[in-house]
């Protein structure tokens, strides 16, 4: 995670977000770049020491990519749960130039951006009401 907070870094980030995300990103006290490690399997000897988990992934790029994206997205959701538990509001965003964010903030690392998340306290007067959601039967089936 890269917590973008300083004025210079924030200005750089604003040049990477979609037009509709500029103002909310500018006004958020902090914007987190939630990233994944494209070589996460190199960390498995430390993080998963009870098996040779590195060997399950090394050399299998499709499995690396799929697993990195899945687990990073899970982490994004947990990140928002933790932030909300602290009383913060979250504004997750897909609307940004991923290549530009990676170039500006993650160059020289094996990290790749997944999503951005504004953190702060939403302005109740400016927030949209919650959009419609599917009923159970529209999104689920029991097998």
List residues binding ligand FMN (CB under 6 A).
18, 21, 91-95, 130
Q: In whole angstroms, what is the distance from residue 25 CA to residue 20 CA?
A: 9
9 contact partners, CB below 8 Å, separation of at least 6: 105
Q: In whole angstroms, what is the distance from residue 10 CA to residue 104 CA?
A: 11
In the bound state with ligand FMN, the residue whose beta carbon lies nearer, of 89 and 104, is 89
Q: How far is the CB of 43 from ligand FMN (least distance, A)?
A: 27
Q: How far is the CB of 25 from ligand FMN (least distance, A)?
A: 9
In the bound state with ligand FMN, the residue whose beta carbon lies nearer, of 21 and 72, is 21
Q: How far is the CB of 38 from ligand FMN (least distance, A)?
A: 21
DSSP 124: T
In the bound state with ligand FMN, the residue whose beta carbon lies nearer, of 45 and 95, is 95
In the bound state with ligand FMN, the residue whose beta carbon lies nearer, of 88 and 93, is 93
**Neighbouring-strand partners of residue 4:** 31
Taking Cα atoms as reference points, which of 27, 18, 26, 7 lies closest to residue 93? 18
Q: How far is the CB of 91 from ligand FMN (least distance, A)?
A: 6
65, 141, 82, 33 alpha-carbon torsion, rounded to 10°: 30
User: Which residue number is nearest to ligand FMN in terms of Cβ?
Assistant: 95
């Amino acid at each position: 995670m890269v917590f973008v907070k300083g004025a210079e870094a924030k200005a750089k980030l604003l040049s990477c977000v979609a037009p509709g995300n500029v103002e909310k990103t500018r006004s958020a006290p902090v914007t987190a770049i939630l990233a994944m490690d494209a070589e996460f399997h190199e960390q498995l000897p430390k993080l998963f020491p009870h098996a040779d988990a590195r060997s399950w992934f090394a050399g299998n790029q499709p499995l690396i990519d799929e697993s990195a994206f899945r687990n990073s997205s899970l982490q994004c959701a947990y990140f928002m749960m933790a932030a909300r538990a602290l009383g913060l509001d979250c504004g997750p965003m897909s609307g940004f130039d991923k290549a530009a964010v990676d170039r500006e903030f993650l160059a020289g690392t094996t990290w790749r951006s997944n999503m951005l998340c504004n953190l702060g306290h939403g302005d109740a007067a400016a927030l949209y009401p919650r959009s419609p959601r599917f009923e159970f039967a529209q999104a689920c089936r029991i097998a």
